[in-house]
Amino acid sequence: MDKSKIIITFAAMDNYAVIFDMDGVIAHTNPHHAEAFKLFFDKYNVSYTDQEFEDHMYGKHNDYIMRYFFKRALSDAEIQHLADEKEALFREIYHANLTPIAGLPEFLSALKSQGFRLGVATSAPRANLDFILDGLALRPLMDSALSSEDVNAHKPDPEIYVKSAENLGVRSEDCVIFEDSFSGVTAATRAGAKVVGVLTSHTPGQLPPCQAYIHDYRDIDVARIHQLLTASHA
């Protein structure tokens, strides 16, 4: 194989981007979110089941979650107050356990060294995004970082991924997106991106079809990302 061709191919990767959801994709936060929600709902005498968490919490925006579980009319101001309280509880619970999903820092560094543009796009509030990115020292690697405050429509709407691609200066069709939830995979697919399902909270059968699946970042490498992005252009 001509090594010079490999160098030329990978040098062109700055025309492509890899975008990561946060909860369940950058860090395995979902069990800690569930713990925080249980304490929070118990305080307010709000009923819930594990199946409801599966269907109506993972990958959802707080606006939807609060309206669903409280099952009464809530003003925007009340939702914001409740969401702020719950997310502060999550950060308190998760602070001592903050750790990236296995292999992520090395994978990000490898992508960056090959010229890929990197972004994070989450339905979580900015305070959580800052908490995770700064706590894991990942911010310097990210060329774009969007949270719930940066969009009008939330996943499964593709807005956050379309906007992330624009921030990164690429087409959404030239992105690989890592997602772990049904609504997140749906949003990424609607944006026209290639999708890698991260199986931290779901099985492949519980997600819409993805181009690849991983349990953690030891299951994938830069060559596989290159393959996903260039297959449709071959």
- List, for residues 59-114, the tens digit of each pLDDT value: 788 999 999 999 999 999 999 999 999 999 999 999 999 999 999 999 999 999 99
61 and 106 inside one domain = no
In terms of domains, do 119 and 193 share one? yes
Does the pTM of the predicted model rise above 0.85? yes
Domain containing 160: what range? Answer: 3-28+100-233
Determine the pLDDT at residue 54.
Answer: 83
Q: Do 66 and 169 have their domain in common?
A: no
Decide which of 65, 96, 127 is a domain's last residue. 96
Domain count, the chain: 2
Same domain, yes or no, for 157 and 177?
yes
Please write the tens of the pLDDT for every residue from 19-28.
999 999 999 9
Sign (positive/negative) of CA torsion 164, 224, 58, 29? negative
| Closest of 112, 191, 121 to residue 158, by C-alpha | 191
Residues 219, 154 share a domain:
yes
CATH code for the domain in which residue 134 is found: 3.40.50.1000
Asked if residue 228 and residue 125 are part of one domain, the reply reads yes
Q: For all residues of the chain together, what is the average pLDDT?
A: 92
Are residue 124 and residue 227 in the same domain, yes or no? yes
Which pLDDT band holds residue 58 (cuts at 50, 70, 90)?
A: confident
In terms of domains, do 152 and 214 share one? yes
pLDDT category of residue 196 using cuts at 50, 70 and 90: very high
Domain finish residue from 43, 74, 96: 96
**Same structural domain for residues 160 and 56?**
no
Q: How confident is the model over 151-164, as a mean pLDDT?
A: 96
Same domain assignment for residues 8 and 90: no
For 127, list phi and psi in degrees, rounded to 5: -60, -40
Assign 89 to helix, strand or coil.
helix
**What per-residue confidence (pLDDT) applies to 81?**
96
- How many Å apart are CA 117 and CA 138, to the nearest integer? 14
The answer to whether the beta carbons of residues 19 and 119 sit under 8 Å apart is: yes
pLDDT of res. 232: 57
* pLDDT over threshold 60, residue 142: yes
> Do residue 105 and residue 142 come from a single domain?
yes
Judge whether residue 234 has pLDDT over 50: no
Same domain for 221 and 110, yes or no, is yes
Assign residue 56 the CATH number of its domain: 1.10.150.240
Domain stop point among 54, 69, 96: 96
Rg of the chain's alpha carbons, rounded to an integer?
A: 18
Provide the token pair at 22: 């946060």
Do residues 187 and 164 touch, judged by C-beta distance below 8 A?
A: no
Sequence-ordered alpha helix ranges (H) in the chain: 3-11, 30-43, 50-56, 62-70, 76-94, 104-113, 126-135, 159-168, 182-190, 222-230
